[in-house]
Amino acid sequence: MQLHQNKMGDVLIVRPLERRIDAATATEFKEKMSEWIGAGNRRIVLNLSEVDFIDSSGLGAIVSSLKKIGNDGDLVICSVRETVMSLFRLTRMNRVFDILSSEEEAIGALSRRL
């Protein structure tokens, strides 16, 4: 799975470059996120602008990343397409994650949470 990542201050921005986070890609997604979190990245923006499908494996990998960060940081999701947002609503994950419209909003939200 191709993931683009860059840092803005102490915020890591991760953007999957694939259209799907599913059983075929979820393990690699989870491993890369785990590696970055293990390296000390505790404030993460997950930009889903390229993703138009997430299955239960993909959702599980995202939840796993949030759990790995724990209380020491935060994971904010942004730029979610409507098809993916429907899944977050259906599974009530929109109540678990902060989901913001844009990357700028997400970075701002994390910057305010010191």
Residue 5 scores a pLDDT above 80: yes
Q: What pTM did the predictor assign?
A: 0.95
Ranges of each domain in the chain: 3-109
Kindly state the DSSP code that residue 94 receives in the 8-state scheme.
G
C-alpha to C-alpha distance for 34 and 14, rounded to whole angstroms:
12
pLDDT for 72 equals 86
pLDDT for 111 equals 85
% pLDDT > 70, the chain: 99
Residue 62 scores a pLDDT above 90: yes
For residues 69-88, give the mean pLDDT.
96
For residues 47 and 103, the answer to whether their CB atoms sit within 8 Å is yes
Residue 109 scores a pLDDT above 90: yes
Q: What CATH number should be reported for the domain whose range is 3-109?
A: 3.30.750.24
